[in-house]
Amino acid sequence: MGWRTGMQAVGALVRRAANELLRVPGAAIPGVLAPTIFFLGLTSVFGELANLPDFGGEYQNWLIAVSLLQGAGFTGAATGVNLARDIEQGWFDRLLVSPAPRPVILAGLVLSAALRSLIPAAFLLAVGFAIGVNWPGLGGLVIALFLVMGMGTIAACWGTVLALRYRSQSAAPLMQAGMLLLVLTTTAYAPLDILTGWLHTVARYNPVTQILEAARQGFVGGVTWGDTWPGLLALAGLLALLSALALRGMRRTAV
Amino acid sequence: MGGCGAGARRVTGRFQPRSILPAVPAIEAKGLERTFEGGIHAVAGVDLEVADGEIYAFLGPNGAGKTTCVRMLTTLLRPTAGSAQVAGFDVVADPGSVRRAIGVALQEAALDPLMTGRELIRLQATLHGLGRQAGQEKADALLERVDLVEAADRQVGTYSGGMRRRLDLASALVHEPRVLFLDEPTTGLDPVSRRTIWEEVEQLNGEGTTVFLTTQYLEEADKLANRVGIIDFGRIVAEDTPGRLKAQIGHPHLEVKLLDGGLERAEEIVRRFGNPLPSKDGAVLVELPGGASEVAPVVRALDEAGLTVEALDLVEPSLDDVFVEKTGHHLEPDEPDTGEIE
Amino acid sequence: MTVKDLRVVAALGARSVKQTFRRPQLFAPIIVFPSILLAIQTAGAGRAIDLEGFPPVDSFLDFMLAGAMIQSTMLAGNSGGIALAVDIEMGFTDRLLAAPISRFAMVLGRLAGTAALSALAAVWFIAVGLIFGAHIQEGVPGALLMIFFVVLSGVAFGGVGAAVALRTGRASVVQGLFPLVFVILFLSSAFFPDNLMLEPAATVAEYNPLSFIVEAIRDPVISSISWDVFWKAIGSLALVGGLSIWWSALALRRRLRTGG
């Protein structure tokens, strides 16, 4: 398959994923609303944490990047659930017996997740700015959204790995829990110095902490290259690992 | 206890009520109707009577109203007009008594994929008031009966279609119902599984259970039922034994193909045995009201006249012919291949 | 209610519990997710106990335990509703309705299952809490009281899930309530003292019946049992439970009348 045909195949798969959204819009609403609900809820509930000595700033500025990444995580996990459904119903077999190479099929699946991640992100940002979240500057916003798309891709790869492994929608909680753990075992709730016990240790070494800090920087202060490149590196690393696992899973499936 | 009807026995395949007392029908419906929201008349006035110990089949295409009728008779749906009694109890006024007397195996084989076969039957036993010990024994016996002993402790989600149907049937028998309702019991099954279900139904009927089944398969109705009700657009358009229904629209006919011509001579000869029909594709056609028993004399006569028979075929009128006659359209474009050698 | 009815409810309840353990999508929200969130929130926001106005506690875990338990119970109610809707979608409820059992036994069985799951979850969280250093001030009677309130909550919130399932007959609709559960939790004192929450959430939390229920579960852990808190919780449970069970009964009646 030439690169042009490959791109067309990817485009067709992305369009199919978009169809699901457009034809059953009600199904997407919980996924779009959930990150915003969590953002508003957690801000209201834990907002006073920002008054702790080592904190500083308003809690909503601290938290918004977490919710952005959480939204991307939900969207990616949903991609995995949809793939599991397609496998259960036999639709995925159609893709596998087509001449499309495995990387093309994977690209089609995860690219749609990357684009779809922007929907809950857009909604969240609109609500966030409405309640007074800092404007991150154009640079900060672009970096944040880029990282959101990256996170969506990572989550979709994770969901794909599990879908191919278990071939059943019953793996959905595993997909969601995995993403929940990844995003929340970071400096999600508070700066590293305020985190206690095991979470302090895990957050220090969790690559998603770097992604989160890079996405957050515009909302809590200025944007610097020094705060950006670790996040990009972490993103690239996770993407390389999970897409390799997903491709391996796909190559093992069918003849 | 109401509804004590006469027993019945099957004698040489023909149903005969035993008692001389007037028996309470196992199922009786008068003017049964069901209209859904939007003015959809799913059942537009059904009258029927099924005698105790009978096998009655509702034959009709998808959307004819078969399932809706079954749901009303099994108290799952309230009729919008008319009345029905099952085992002598009114489905609207006394649904509890109806439920105690019936067993139901519905169209979608409503089984929980996460339960094991044994768990399902035990649950059904509990729902029908059987104690723990009795439920256990019943489960063992029924699983043995439907040949699911080995799969009994596996989750139903791992069962094949045929196994699910057998389990569904077994769970409908937990309380030894007087009347068994089977809604399309063999739809989607392979020929072997279909045959197994048929055998089981015949055995149950032999033990005295009245069976009301719905089907879209001609052969199933033909083979199993004492009487068939043809339903289309929510009404019964014909009702009788399969034989009499087919006889209403014609007799079997013999098609004879000869090896060396002699068509005209053959037509003269067959005229002696029955009503000749227009020849078709070089074959001589003659009606034989007596069916297969009248074939041999025809062949002998042709042989004596020096005519060699290359091929012959006794064509029976089918229930589909009856269906076309009564409704103007075929029942179903494709019939399942049962693999039976005629 | 006859002995037979009770046996039927128990059998359907047992089936509910088995179903939940056999289907990860139903089990995960009851134990896995609340446990993860408890661990993360305790470690992440643990320094909150240093804030002025925070109730006197030994650790944030002592405070959060009740929140995790109520979260688990509400999600158990949602899971129960999803399972009931799946039963409706696949026709399993027809099997129950064609049997000679009381119509409402279908709902009661589901609620019994949710109550049992809530009890199991309560024991789990108490055990986990004790292992990780929580201290229940009121000891064993306190723990029993916590389990009591969690079980009653399970019935009350289970009724909501059942009502939505019966009304809509669609698992995807019941599943869509998932975010709503968190909205109600956030607008209560489940995760943080309402006097330290931001407005307008703080005011809503002050009057939210869920706050009264959570505080009754929390009281035995961080202080002593107060009758005032106890009766407010009972009242809230009676309100929520009464409304939800009434709504379930209506939805069931409607379903039986229209046939689906």
User: Which H or E run contains B256?
Assistant: strand B253-258
* Mean pLDDT of chain B, nearest integer: 85
The DSSP bridge pattern shows strands B235-240 and B283-287 to be unpaired
Q: Please report residues of B whose CB lies closer than 8 A to that of C23.
A: 114
Full residue range of the structural domain in which residue B303 is found = 251-316
- Do residues C217 and C151 touch, judged by C-beta distance below 8 A? no
Report the predicted TM-score, pTM, of the whole model to 2 decimal places: 0.79
Q: Per residue in C31-46, pLDDT tens?
A: 998 999 999 999 998 8
* C33 lies within 8 A of chain A by CB: yes
Q: Specify if B325 maps to a domain.
A: no
- Dihedral through CA A28, CA A30, CA A36, CA A40, nearest 10? 170
What pLDDT shows up at residue A3? Answer: 74
Q: Quick one: pLDDT at residue A140?
A: 95
Mean pLDDT along residues B239-262: 86
Which of A195-199, B271-275, C72-76 is the most confident on average?
C72-76
Of B218, B246, B274, the one marking the end of a domain is: B246
* Confidence class for position A21, pLDDT limits 50, 70, 90: low
User: Using one digit for the tens of pLDDT, what is the confidence trace for A206-253?
Assistant: 999 999 999 999 999 989 999 999 999 999 999 999 999 998 888 776
Here the contacts of B10-16 (C-beta below 8 Å, separation 24 or greater) are: B10/B205, B10/B206, B14/B226, B15/B51, B15/B53, B15/B54, B15/B55, B15/B226
Neighboring chain A residues of C19 at a CB cutoff of 8 Å: none
Domain that holds residue A206: 3-252
Test C100 with B127 for CB contact under 8 angstroms.
yes
Q: What is the CATH number of the domain that holds B275?
A: 3.30.70
| CA–CA distance, A187 with A69 (Å, rounded to integer) | 12
Does residue B5 have a pLDDT over 60? no
Residue B321 in any domain: the answer is: no
Q: What is the DSSP string of B266-295?
A: HHHHHTTTS-EEEEETTEEEEE-TTGGGGH
The Cα B306–Cα B303 span in angstroms is 5
At A235 the pLDDT is 97
B161-171 average pLDDT score:
91
Res A254: pLDDT: 54
Both tokens assigned to C132: 């990780």
Per the CB < 8 Å rule, is C18 touching B128?
Answer: no
Same domain assignment for residues B261 and B228: no
Domain total in chain A = 1
Q: What is the pLDDT of residue B315?
A: 87
Residue C20 has pLDDT above 60, yes or no: yes
**Are C95 and B114 in contact (CB < 8 Å)?**
no
Residues B261 and B143 in one domain: no
Where is the domain boundary, B226, B246, B266?
Answer: B246
Question: Residue B224 belongs to what H/E stretch?
Answer: helix B218-224
Least confident of A78-92, B221-235, C105-119, C228-242: A78-92
Residue B271: inside a domain? yes
Closest CA to B167 of B196, B188, B131, B132: B196
Model confidence at B19: pLDDT above 60: no
Residues B128-150: what's their mean pLDDT? Answer: 93
Look at C66 and B187; give whichever has higher pLDDT. Answer: C66
Contact (CB, 8 A) for B161 and B188:
yes
Q: Does B78 fall in a domain?
A: yes
CB atoms under 10 Å from CB of C123, counted, come to 14
Give the ipTM of the model, two decimals please: 0.83
Residue B188 sits in the same domain as residue B298: no
What's B177's domain CATH number?
3.40.50.300
Q: How many residues does chain A have?
A: 255
B331 assigned to some structural domain: no
Q: Same structural domain for residues B50 and B161?
A: yes
Distance (Å, whole) CA A144 – CA C114: 42
Q: Which residues of C touch A185 (CB under 8 A)?
A: 40
Enumerate residues 6+ apart whose C-beta is below 8 A from C45: A46, A49, A189, A190, C60
Q: Which of C95, C101, C257 should be substituted to probe chain B, the one whose Cβ sees the most B Cβ atoms within 10 Å?
A: C95
What is the count of structural domains for chain B? Answer: 2
B76-117 tens-digit pLDDT:
888 999 999 999 999 999 998 999 999 999 876 678 888 899
Share of chain A above pLDDT 70, in %: 93
Residue C80 phi/psi, 5° resolution? -60, -40
Residues B285 and B223 in one domain: no
Domain segments of chain C: what residues? 3-258
The residues, ordered by sequence, that sit 6+ positions from B25 with a Cβ below 8 Å of its Cβ are B5, B49, B50, B51, B52, B85
Residues B155, B266, single domain; the answer is: no
pLDDT category at C141 given cuts 50, 70, 90 is: very high
Tens of pLDDT, residue by residue over A120-160, are 999 999 999 999 999 999 999 999 999 999 999 999 999 99
Most confident option among A47-51, B217-221, B276-280, C249-253: C249-253
pLDDT value for B178: 94
- Asked if B175 and B48 sit in the same domain, the reply is yes
Q: Is residue B306 part of a domain?
A: yes
Write down the mean pLDDT value for chain C: 92
Looking at the fold, whether B103 and B167 belong to one and the same domain comes out as yes
CB contact under 8 Å between B127 and C18, yes or no, is no
Nearest CA-CA distance, residue B298 and chain C, Å: 56
- Residue B22's pLDDT is 57
Say if B334 falls within a structural domain: no
* Amino acid C168: pLDDT: 92
What's the mean pLDDT in C84-88?
92
Are B261 and B225 within one domain? Answer: no
Q: How far apart are CA C71 and CA C79, in angstroms?
A: 12
